[in-house]
Amino acid sequence: MLIEPRRIELREEPAPPPPAGGIVVRVRAALTDGTDLKTYRRGHPKMPMPTRFGHEFCGDVAAAGEGVTGLAPGDPVMCVHTAPCGQCFWCRHAQEELCEDLIPAMILGAYSDLIAVPSRIVDRNCFAKPEHVSYAEGAFLEPLACVVHSLRLLAPAQGSTVAVVGNGGFGILHALFLARRGVTALLFGRRPERLALARELGIETVDTRVAPIADAILERTHDRGADAAIECTGAVEMWEAMPSLVRRGGRVSFFAGLPAQARVSFLASRLHYDEVQLLAPFHFTPADVREAFDLIAARALPLARLLSHVYPLDRIADAFTQLDAGVGLKVLIEP
Ligand SMILES: [Zn+2]
């Protein structure tokens, strides 16, 4: 439980009963991510505290509810923490990522021994984990679905050059997936150990403490600017700089969110005269989760390389103290 900012407590609770049509998962691996760290530091409007905590997980079916077919206790599963309702205006208009019941019905509590997964998620966003995929890799289903959705919206052309700003887990995942799609990714960041990891994974990196982002992009694009740029830092100043990084006719994707009341500004002429397009992908659809599952099952990306540390569940508070101090990338929590 996250009790208040920077205070995590472990609580003993009775095992949850399996929901009708749903399952209870015994968590074998959970991951930390940037949203968890932001929530840890300042809370989250959609997660009033005290709250269950953690949303990326993978494990085994501990119990199956009435009406569940195809999954039995002991089966390894990969699921995400949401599923669209299938009935609301947005679901009926092929924008399931905006489903009005998506966030209200999300499940939290990946940092626990057991988590109940309702029928809607079991039906639409849950998969049997292949044997050759580790639990830790399986727990990447949710973050990878976000990246799949992000690039579905951006739709970068093969051979184009895309600047990825921010070298956290999502920045590196974007760069890896872009490269797989035949796109030249340039990753910008200022954490030396993360830039070094990205280079080991074959990604071209630029240290923003050394070179201004705009100069480095112009140098590599015949002074035109990038074909597209993806914001993965969640900083207002960076959001405001993004439209200046792409070429005329380029596209900007604001992947990392800002606080709900944040305002940003940039030159209007970049939009009107230069036809720069602005996008802001949110969450994912079941089709994105399916594609992320296929990528993981095919072991298409070196996901395990993003794991910087492993902690047992009873040291979850230490894991976040360390992340808060700027150490680590994605931490694997093993109950
Ligand atoms: Zn809906």
pLDDT: is 211 or 125 the higher one? 125
Cα 243 to middle of ligand 1, angstroms: 32
Nearest to 334 by CA among 134, 101, 173, 84: 134
What is the pLDDT at residue 136? 98
Cα 331 to middle of ligand 1, angstroms: 32
Cα 45 to middle of ligand 1, angstroms: 20
Q: Given a cut of 90, is residue 176 above it in pLDDT?
A: yes
Residues 209-234, buried b or exposed e (16+ Cβ, 10 A)? eeeebeebbbebbeeebbbbbbbbbb
Cα 92 to middle of ligand 1, angstroms: 7
Cα 123 to middle of ligand 1, angstroms: 14
Cα 287 to middle of ligand 1, angstroms: 15
Confidence of residue 274 (pLDDT cuts 50, 70, 90): very high
Nearest to 280 by CA among 146, 175, 93, 184: 146
pLDDT digits (tens, 9 = 90+) for 232-270: 999 999 999 999 999 999 999 999 999 889 999 999 999
Handedness of CA 79, 85, 86, 91 (dihedral sign): negative
Confidence of residue 44 (pLDDT cuts 50, 70, 90): confident
Q: Whole-angstrom distance between the N-terminal and C-terminal Cα of the chain?
A: 14
β-strands 126-128, 76-79 pairing: antiparallel
What is the pLDDT at residue 98? 97
Confidence of residue 47 (pLDDT cuts 50, 70, 90): confident
Residues 6+ positions from 110 with CB-CB distance below 8 Å:
27, 30, 31, 53, 54, 55, 56, 57, 81, 139, 333
pLDDT digits (tens, 9 = 90+) for 64-97: 999 999 999 999 999 999 999 999 999 999 999 9
What is the pLDDT at residue 45? 81
Tokens 């914001």 — which residue? 231
Cα 127 to middle of ligand 1, angstroms: 21
> Hey, what are 20's tokens?
């009708």
DSSP 25-42: EEEEEEE--HHHHHHHHH
Cα 187 to middle of ligand 1, angstroms: 35
What is the pLDDT at residue 36? 94
Q: Given a cut of 90, is residue 14 above it in pLDDT?
A: yes
pLDDT digits (tens, 9 = 90+) for 119-130: 999 999 999 999
Cα 183 to middle of ligand 1, angstroms: 33
Cα 95 to middle of ligand 1, angstroms: 9
